[in-house]
Structure 1
Amino acid sequence: MKNNKLIFSFLLSLIMVFSSCEDLEVEDLNAASLADVYANPSDILSVVEGQYTLWWDGIQKNEPNMALSVTGEGISASWGNWGMFDLGAKPRLPFNNTLAYGNRFILTQPWIRNNQVLGAIREALFVLESEFGGQLIDPETNTDLTANVLANSKVLQGLALGWNALLFDQSYVADETLSEDELANIEFVPYPEVAAAAVQKFEEAAAIFESNPSAEISQIPGQVMSGAEAAAFCRNYAAMILAYSARTSAETEALDWAKIVSLTNTPMVKDFSPNGDGGFSWWSRLLIQGQLSLWSRMSQRIVNMMEGGTGGPTTVDTQTTTAPYPWPENTNTLPAITNPVDKRLNIYTVHVAGNTFQPARGYHFFSNRRSIRYVDYLLQYTGPIAHLTKNEMGLIRAEALVRTGGDKSAAVGFINDRRVSVGELAAVAASASNDQILDAIYYEHFVEHYLDGVAKPWMNRRRTTVERHGLIPGTVRQLPVPASELDLRGLPVYTFGGDN
């Protein structure tokens, strides 16, 4: 039973310890041997595939997406729900990393879920090796399940590690390779190392899919992928993790952009947009409250840019009287914009007269533009939930090409994709300077993907090398390890944001 106790100990650290005061139930695996728990080989595959829902639950629903989308000025909302007001306040405040903070789930939700995924996958791979000799054959169908278990396990490890790297300044890198002693003494790892581990897992998954074309990702609604298609998805997702892991412009410039070019040489076959299931497991709060005018609006900073303003983080831009940024004091509404510079403004949003936000919380929250980009989703919470699209990956590849001295004609092709055909803006020329092309890349990120995935504007603003696109000074650039975890480990509590 020593190995069984090792697994149980590890799960306790990756579920109970990580969850701390969050009241999660943990099954006592000491009550049965692992062979009993996984009596049927297909049970292992079921456990692995079930972790996709847990991963989604940790990042894409309420927390941390809503608060980070506000602080990153993708959407604007002054309500207290999910920490939106706290992270949107001006001047920016330090993140309240305390046990008593009512919105601590901004931290604990992704921390718990991602580490639960890592614990469950480690256990499954341990069982695969210790109980089944590294090969799984379904006795009922005589089907070899090994490649499916391995490939999906690596994808999930990449997702969990990758999002820990994108969100937290440090976290655990825990997988099946750790020895008993290493598990007992596991320590935090800085986010660049966590991101590198995530990239490695995605590359391992890609190799398995290429060697086993029948292996597939099948438990994400609307996203069945196998063989070369799954391999391309894995490498592109790894490229996104690597690109978005930078916290500052200096870190962005120091990234291995040649690696990102390599990872994106084969594009994704389709958008990674899981289908909503009506609000049961696969849904996105950002596509619900993010598109209801009583709850939130498109950030005035993006509105300003789309109407020809500069959208700078520290300047007052009144060169466009129809969309000044920041929103003028003691003003409840601005005129409708009938002929915007970027035509997408009247395609992705509609004018709503007046504001329901409280002036006492700050006029900087105000905006007249309600998002309707994915308005069909509001009907029944079904349909695609854009998480990582081909267009977004094109922008990431374009940036990599520019930063490595690659094909600028190809780079501007990605930029002009929707900029010209939908926005009716002038095409960016391949002869433009690198700075001009990079400015256009980030602009496209904010216009096209402010409602996609998780906190995309926040991640792009913190890493941009274009000053006008950066975060408001004092904005938190990464999340600390939750106070509950630090307290249990006897470590001092720390935080980021404000003057920290």
Structure 2
Amino acid sequence: MKKIKLIIPILTFLAIFMSCEDFSTDLEVLNTENPDDNILTSDPVALVATGEGILQNWYLTVHSTNAPGAAMATMADVSSCSWGNFGMRDASSEPRVAFNNNSSYSYNVSRSYFNSLYAVLTDSNTLALAIANGTEFDDPASVEMIAKLGQALSIGYLALVFDTVWVFDETGTIAGTGRFESSSTYSEAMTFALAKLDEAITLAEENNLSLSEVALPGGGGANATLIQFMNSMGARMLVGNLRNSEEKAAADWDRVLEYANSGMTADFEIYMDDSSWYDLIPKTYLVYPGWGRTDMRVVNKMDPTQPDYWEDGVTLIEESTDPIDDRLNTDYEYLSSNSFAAARGYYHYSNYRYSALDDYISIWTINVVEISKSENDMYIAEALANKSAPDLAAAAAVINAGTRVVRGKLPEVAADADAIAEAIHHERIVEFAYTGTGLTFFEMRKENLLQSGTLLHFPVPGTALESIPAEYYTFGGTEGVAGTDYSTGGWR
């Protein structure tokens, strides 16, 4: 279904998209080739088909090479790559520099992501409007549920990445206090997204709703699993949206715990058919031989005798022989040489790659994990340790029953706040760094661990700024507000 063109007048934001690449300032756009809104929202067959594509379009958007996932992984010093593709080299340059937000920049990884998520939002709003208009569906609750979920995921994933978000649903624009008139801050946008997510969860619970294999292949659409997935997404988005340690301290950890306690009790998997469903970032280009490698900081976490940073002039670092974390043996592969150009910086070098996804990059048609049980467990543990009445013993128990001990064979963590925080951080960068997009960047961001000068979120894409029109701006290096738009801390 064609999308309706996004309308952003200079003084007010009115509506929505025509395509993933179009961005217009027109007050009104006459679509002479496609039906108007009333027809679009009264064709139940076409709308049901649109609904079945909502999650696929969201997934392909956030896992695309045109999205910021690869750049965020290298900025987080969890993956390393000197290739210019997908903004990896520029984003992870040392010292960090401002993001190039010009519309002509070859590696602008925010533009398509921005437009595509708004396209998902447009389709979701069309479904919600059809429900509001009384369009007759065989299962209206199911259509409404996927509409609410699409609204939640599209706005939520815009909030995770950008400083400013335009928020709107089937009722119109929800104006906030963002950088531009009628726009919202990332925190306001996330509030909207989570409200829509809660509505989707309630609809699924009260109506025993499931999704078809077309909408969500791999078995994850069954009612109980779907509800768990949505709750885990709530925890992921709440925690991932935090920009620094000050926001972490003020977060609603009781709400995180409520989501996570109803979240995944087993790994949430999606079937990749290598045609309409596939994961390019992180599960392909960040792990495929010759592309991304595991940053030395992560290697050092699993074996402290390995350096956490590759120094200039070093050509070889020997294989680990006695790691403290057994996953360096089971999930990672040692490499005795580097293919990266030294002139681009020895800091890109690494002696390990992530190999736990070798089945996927060999077979391609296989179930892959989007949200692991371990990811959800860490939200539970983190919430228990940080909520208004902390329960450190319970937090430690969750960690010790999970992948840290079972897979990593690490010693049990004590009921100590600092030890628990470090254990959670360790699991996030070692165990499930290659499941959902951006998880390690969001983790490093909220802990003030991103290298100094690293942008904390992306600006509105330059193409959009030109279309509003609005003055160019960007973040990173020293551009923006220190500690709010770019990191002033860093792990090194």
Matched position secondary structure for 2:21: helix
**One-letter amino acid matched to 1:413:** A
1:81 counterpart = 2:85: yes
Q: Mapping of 1:262-341 within 5 angstroms?
A: 262-308=258-304, 320=305, 323-341=306-324
1:443 counterpart = 2:426: yes
In structure 1, stretches of 5+ residues that fail to align are 1-5, 138-143, 309-319
How big is the shift at 1:13?
5.0
Distance 2:95 2:36 in 1: 55
Match of residue 459 from structure 2: 480
Of 60, 64, 72, which aligns to 2:76? 72
Of 408, 422, 427, which aligns to 1:423? 408
Match of residue 385 from structure 1: 368
* Cα root mean square deviation, aligned: 2.6
Distance 1:217 1:236 in 2: 20
**One-letter amino acid matched to 1:353:** S
User: Taking structure 1 as reference, are residues 422 and 265 closer, same or farther at Cα in structure 2, changes over 3 Å only?
Assistant: closer
Matched position secondary structure for 1:216: coil
Match of residue 58 from structure 2: 55
How big is the shift at 1:285?
3.4
Of 342, 345, 351, which aligns to 2:334? 351
Distance 1:181 1:195 in 2: 13
Match of residue 148 from structure 2: 154
Contact 1:278–1:380 (Cα < 8 Å) also in 2: no
How big is the shift at 1:421?
1.9
How big is the shift at 1:355?
0.5
User: Taking structure 1 as reference, are residues 146 and 385 closer, same or farther at Cα in structure 2, changes over 3 Å only?
Assistant: same
Matched position secondary structure for 2:272: strand
- Tell which deviates more after alignment, 27-36 or 168-177: 27-36
Of 246, 251, 258, which aligns to 1:250? 246
How big is the shift at 1:458?
0.9
Distance 1:37 1:434 in 2: 54
1:119-145 C-alpha deviation (Å, 9 max, x unpaired):
112122223333xx25x33xxxxxx32
Distance 2:151 2:390 in 1: 31
Of 392, 398, 415, which aligns to 1:408? 392
1:115 counterpart = 2:125: no
- Tell which deviates more after alignment, 222-231 or 61-70: 222-231
User: Taking structure 1 as reference, are residues 27 and 69 closer, same or farther at Cα in structure 2, changes over 3 Å only?
Assistant: farther
How big is the shift at 1:408?
2.8
1:190 counterpart = 2:185: yes
Match of residue 489 from structure 2: none
Distance 1:284 1:414 in 2: 32
Contact 2:60–2:277 (Cα < 8 Å) also in 1: yes
How big is the shift at 1:20?
4.0
**One-letter amino acid matched to 2:396:** V
In structure 2, stretches of 5+ residues that fail to align are 9-13, 480-492
Distance 1:406 1:453 in 2: 28
Contact 1:20–1:484 (Cα < 8 Å) also in 2: no
Contact 2:253–2:383 (Cα < 8 Å) also in 1: yes
Give the TM-score taking structure 2 as reference length: 0.87
How big is the shift at 1:280?
3.9
Contact 1:69–1:457 (Cα < 8 Å) also in 2: yes
Distance 2:127 2:53 in 1: 12
User: Taking structure 1 as reference, are residues 66 and 27 closer, same or farther at Cα in structure 2, changes over 3 Å only?
Assistant: farther
How big is the shift at 1:33?
4.6
How big is the shift at 1:43?
2.0
User: Taking structure 1 as reference, are residues 444 and 224 closer, same or farther at Cα in structure 2, changes over 3 Å only?
Assistant: closer
Match of residue 163 from structure 1: 157
User: Taking structure 1 as reference, are residues 96 and 10 closer, same or farther at Cα in structure 2, changes over 3 Å only?
Assistant: closer
Match of residue 229 from structure 2: 233
Structure with greater helix percent: 1
Report % sequence identity: 29
